[in-house]
C-alpha cells in the first residue's frame, strides 16, 4: 500500500481514495474512526498504524481499505 510519508507519519486522505463513496468506504477503519468529524484526512505515525492493524486483525474494527488515486513515484 502506498502512503505519502511525512516525517515518519502516514497521510491517509479520503479525498484521494479511489474507493471514496463506495461500499468499501463505509467499511473502512478511517471512516469508522472519524465518522463524526468533518475532516477527510487522518495522519498517523507508524506505531499508531501498527496498533490499528492489530485491532483490525482481531476483528474489532473494519480494515483499512484506502487506495490512493495519485501516482506515487
Looking up cell 506505531, which residue turns up? Answer: 47
Looking up cell 487522518, which residue turns up? Answer: 42
Digit-coded pLDDT (tens) for 6-57: 567 778 888 888 888 888 888 888 877 777 667 667 788 888 888 888 988 9
Q: How far is CA 58 from CA 8, 54, 69, in A?
A: 25, 6, 28
Q: Return the pLDDT at 7.
A: 61
Q: Is the pLDDT of residue 61 over 50?
A: yes
Instruction: Pull the grid cell for residue 49.
Output: 498504524
Q: Return the pLDDT at 63.
A: 82
Which sequence spans correspond to the domains of the chain? Answer: 4-57
Q: Return the pLDDT at 1.
A: 46
pTM: 0.58
Instruction: Pull the grid cell for residue 12.
Output: 491517509
Amino acid at each position: 500500500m502506498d502512503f505519502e510519508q511525512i516525517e515518519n507519519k502516514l497521510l491517509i486522505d479520503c479525498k484521494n481514495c479511489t474507493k471514496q463513496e463506495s461500499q468499501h468506504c463505509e467499511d473502512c477503519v478511517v471512516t469508522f474512526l472519524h465518522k463524526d468529524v468533518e475532516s477527510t484526512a487522518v495522519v498517523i505515525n507508524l506505531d499508531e498504524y501498527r496498533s490499528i492493524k492489530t485491532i483490525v486483525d482481531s476483528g474489532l474494527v473494519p480494515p483499512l481499505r484506502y487506495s490512493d488515486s495519485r501516482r506515487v513515484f
